[in-house]
Structure 1
Amino acid sequence: MGADAVDLLVIGGGMAGLSAAARVAAEGGSVVLVEKAERTGGSARFAGFVWSAPTVEELRRVNPDGEPELAAALIDGFAEGVEWIRSLGVECRPPVPVLGFGRGHQVDTNHYLDTCERLIRDRGQEVLTGTWTRTLLTEDGRVTGAECLLPDGSPRRIEAAWTLLATGGFQGDPRLRAEHLHPQAEHVGLRANPHSRGDGLALGRAAGGAFGKKDAGFYGHLMPAGVSLADPARFVDLALYYSEHALLFDTTGERFVDETVGDHLTTMALLERPGARGLLVADARVHREWISASYVEGIPGVDKFQLCHRAGARSAVADSLADFESMPEEWGFPGATIRDRIEEFNATVGAGGTTEPGRLLDSRPLDEPPFYVIETAPAVTFTFGGLLIDAGAHVVPAEGRGTIPGLLAAGADAGGLYRRAYAGGLAPALVFGLAAARTALTGTRPAALGR
């Protein structure tokens, strides 16, 4: 490794990568950030809340199969991450409840991402967009940088004491979705940027990194089936967050999940049902209290049913449960069966009984007409499976113990934190991005490397 090697090479310019690179630059370190897309930011540009569980105990409760070390690192680093955002002059609003158990801050994410990039450039460090990383460089078992292809196709070798993989996961690759999520995931919608196609995962595994956890799942939302998600503005507008207060049926006309566990978990369950399609049914009370109301404090409410209807979703308003028997055959759902199941549900919860599947939270009857019906399908935002890391963002090897020298991962390229559970996406990217920066600034440098 030459004396002109940088402290940190960041591959991927989303929340994790920009946070790491900006922190290193702010502390006087040398850094190069490489982004495949023409613009930095990735899927973080479509998000607006930095949040997680308030305590390690709460995170372990909702995410019992995640790595305890990573859970503790996330909670321990959250406050520092928020202060880092504020130190850059980016507004981070007072904390509010999120998803019933979490707590977090609304952030102008685009302002934060652009500020990080500007800081990197202002400190004389490089940001290379439209640049693809072809392979990692190694020397005596240590990752020492990468060989990249610049926009004009010319190669560039970048040597670094530490290399951070932060390319955003593999949700943009249909083949990888089918392999690691579910065969039906090949054809599901993508509510994220299309550039995160497993580049970091491939680079890290080629360097000997471990992949995990098995069957980790993904974060996503129920979206209206058959509606194009090409416009990122639809990612939030059409997300059917209210599903936890409605009833969800598969193509056999049966409920198959406790909807109240949360839309993000229901989405994973629907992916595994026949055709990965469902029918979401709400009544007038749910429409009034949830469909057209604010989902998170500080975010104005909109009538999502009307938005979906105008977007061309298969939807209907039924004046009574009897109308379900007339459901069009081409919809592919047994309307009479769904009517019967709703009536059975109402009778059971009205009598104080327990339904199957049960409902942990909202168990009120769905009996106030009219009824709002939308055909729905799962859509993926980012994947949970990734390169296994420790609390310092070091990549763990597939064979042997310890970590892979010189190699870090953060954001959706890092696995182990969540398994079929979720407690925020921006927060882990921020916290472990900053952890990677800390490692790069304080970690042991190879003897052959000069400043």
Structure 2
Amino acid sequence: MDAETVDLLVIGGGMAGLSAAARVAAEGGTVVLVEKAERTGGSARFAGFVWTAPTFEEMRRVNPDGDPDLAAALVDGFDDGVAWIRSLGVECRPPVPVLGFGRGHQVDTNHYLDACERLLRDRGQEVLTATWTRALLTENGRVTGADCLLPDGSARRIEATWTLLATGGFQGDPELRAAHVHPQAADIALRANPHSRGDGLALGRTAGAAFGGKDAGFYGHLMPAGVSLADPARFVDLALYYSEHALLFDTTGERFVDETLGDHLSTMALLERPEARGLLVADARVHREWISASYVAGIPGVDKFQLCHRAGARAAVADSLEDFASMPEEWGYPGAVIRDRIEEYNAAAGTNDTLTPGRRHDRLPLDEPPFYVVEAAPAITFAFGGLLIDSAGHVLSDATKSPVPGLLAAGADAGGLYRRAYAGGLAPALVFGLAAARTALTETPAAVVG
């Protein structure tokens, strides 16, 4: 038992949680950080870019249905977040374009996460790993800390002025994915750490928190269908980013999305198609210019098709469009229909004819053989639904939409920022983690009335 009340209890040691905890410790506050896994870092250890939209106007253009206050806070807080990373001695490389509209910095996220943890320990603050949070402590409607279970099986009550939920979301739980993302999401691949299984969501809901983002969607990428993602190195190596320049067909042989708007958007769209799988078709030009090229400036390019083939994906090279008509029956696609649709697309691509679905950006035909075919499936990194927060990180009450006293959330535990759109994952975790730290350092939780 520890009777001392700390300024901030952080539940979850990923990008958001470590950022918040380290910032509070750096400013002289007291912190305990609790992490369920054996090691801190979460899914942020698999990422390498901190980026978002460069202006509020651009954010609203790409994410028109998200919370505008959260969008403004993210854009406004981004530069301060980058400055905070650099203040810890971590390199942020010069800004580069991301996804055609964003701006961001390549960062050694492992260096950053380890620097945050080292700062905490150097300032005498506690980092408890392999520790499970059993329940939030409440008093008259105010969250006052949490009961935790230590690795040796003993209980630990941690009292805190503020408690931050930053457990990384619920994407690791198939039932929660089915309930809050899409019924077919129960069976899709996980492109993230396996420990984020909705702990923060469950804890917040017991305190009366609002869940936001019905049909909000998720962030993920198209990956080769049927290929194991147990090795995190495959999260980037096998991601089919080049889909923005290819054609994507569902099991009926039809296109169903404007692929050029972003691989992450095509991923959401494919989840809702029959069997949540499709064929991604590219030609020799796309292979040369995109499949083998760098996705983001500064990252060396690799031949994604060859990587998928070696990983055991359903992949093939067709010497001509006529070869599609003899597609193996066990694949389950009408090859002749796909051939016809490619020919129709090519006939319209170089003209002013209307394409259905449209192609806002790359309208070049796919007519240079050979043709590269990979069966693709959606994989999830995190869901956009979560506990509703305001721009200061306060968790909002389901009953009143006012802050739940003493409770904060950040990272993938927080919802409302995005709705079927995406402008960065590490950046919101960083910015709202730092916002939560500022709240913990400067505010006293409101008293509960009644």
TM-score range, shorter chain: over 0.9
Is the Cα–Cα contact under 8 Å of residues 405 and 446 in structure 2 kept in the other structure? no
**1:84 aligned partner:** 84
Cα deviation 1:370-404 (Å, max 9, x = unaligned): 00000000000011100000010000000014200
**2:219 aligned partner:** 219
**1:392 aligned partner:** 392
**2:286 aligned partner:** 286
| Offset of residue 426 of structure 1 | 0.2
Instruction: Letter of the 1:52 partner, please give it.
Output: T
Q: How far apart are the structure 2 equivalents of 1:395 and 1:12?
A: 16
Instruction: Indicate the SS of the match to 2:147.
Output: strand
| Offset of residue 446 of structure 1 | 7.7
| Offset of residue 351 of structure 1 | 3.2
**2:72 aligned partner:** 72
Corresponding position: 1:110 with 2:110: yes
**2:265 aligned partner:** 265
Q: How far apart are the structure 1 equivalents of 2:169 and 2:351?
A: 46
Instruction: Indicate the SS of the match to 2:405.
Output: coil
Q: How far apart are the structure 2 equivalents of 1:148 and 1:98?
A: 40
**2:299 aligned partner:** 299
Is the Cα–Cα contact under 8 Å of residues 161 and 446 in structure 1 kept in the other structure? no
Instruction: Letter of the 1:220 partner, please give it.
Output: G
| Offset of residue 445 of structure 1 | 5.5
Q: How far apart are the structure 1 equivalents of 2:3 and 2:33?
A: 19
Instruction: Indicate the SS of the match to 1:136.
Output: strand
Q: How far apart are the structure 1 equivalents of 2:401 and 2:351?
A: 56
Is the Cα–Cα contact under 8 Å of residues 208 and 399 in structure 2 kept in the other structure? yes
Q: Which segment is superposed worse, 436-445 or 192-201?
A: 436-445
**1:254 aligned partner:** 254
List gaps (5 residues or longer) in structure 2. Answer: none
Corresponding position: 1:199 with 2:199: yes
Q: How far apart are the structure 2 equivalents of 1:222 and 1:213?
A: 22
Is the Cα–Cα contact under 8 Å of residues 410 and 432 in structure 2 kept in the other structure? yes
Q: How far apart are the structure 2 equivalents of 1:227 and 1:401?
A: 43
Instruction: Indicate the SS of the match to 1:134.
Output: strand
Instruction: Indicate the SS of the match to 1:156.
Output: strand
Q: How far apart are the structure 2 equivalents of 1:136 and 1:303?
A: 48
Q: How far apart are the structure 1 equivalents of 2:170 and 2:3?
A: 34
TM-score of the superposed pair, with normalisation by structure 2: 0.98
Identity of aligned residues (%): 84
Cα deviation 1:91-127 (Å, max 9, x = unaligned): 0000000000000000000000000001001100000
Instruction: Letter of the 1:43 partner, please give it.
Output: S
Corresponding position: 1:325 with 2:325: yes
Tell me the number of residue pairs that the alignment of Structure 1 and Structure 2 aligns.
447
Corresponding position: 1:4 with 2:4: yes
Instruction: Letter of the 1:92 partner, please give it.
Output: C
Q: How far apart are the structure 1 equivalents of 2:115 and 2:153?
A: 29
| Offset of residue 213 of structure 1 | 1.5
Instruction: Indicate the SS of the match to 1:404.
Output: strand
**2:49 aligned partner:** 49
Instruction: Indicate the SS of the match to 1:6.
Output: strand
Corresponding position: 1:168 with 2:145: no
Instruction: Indicate the SS of the match to 2:394.
Output: coil
Q: How far apart are the structure 2 equivalents of 1:205 and 1:120?
A: 29
Is the Cα–Cα contact under 8 Å of residues 384 and 419 in structure 1 kept in the other structure? yes
| Offset of residue 11 of structure 1 | 0.2
Instruction: Indicate the SS of the match to 2:417.
Output: coil
Q: How far apart are the structure 1 equivalents of 2:366 and 2:445?
A: 62
Q: How far apart are the structure 2 equivalents of 1:43 and 1:56?
A: 27
* Structure 1 moving runs of 4+ over 4 Å: none
**1:358 aligned partner:** 358
Q: How far apart are the structure 2 equivalents of 1:20 and 1:413?
A: 14
Corresponding position: 1:134 with 2:130: no
Q: CA RMSD in A?
A: 1.2
Corresponding position: 1:37 with 2:31: no
- What does 1:144-159 align with in structure 2 at a 5 Å threshold? 144-159=144-159
Instruction: Indicate the SS of the match to 1:405.
Output: strand
| Offset of residue 158 of structure 1 | 0.2
Q: How far apart are the structure 2 equivalents of 1:127 and 1:60?
A: 38
**2:187 aligned partner:** 187
Instruction: Letter of the 2:159 partner, please give it.
Output: E
Q: How far apart are the structure 1 equivalents of 2:446 and 2:70?
A: 27
**1:316 aligned partner:** 316
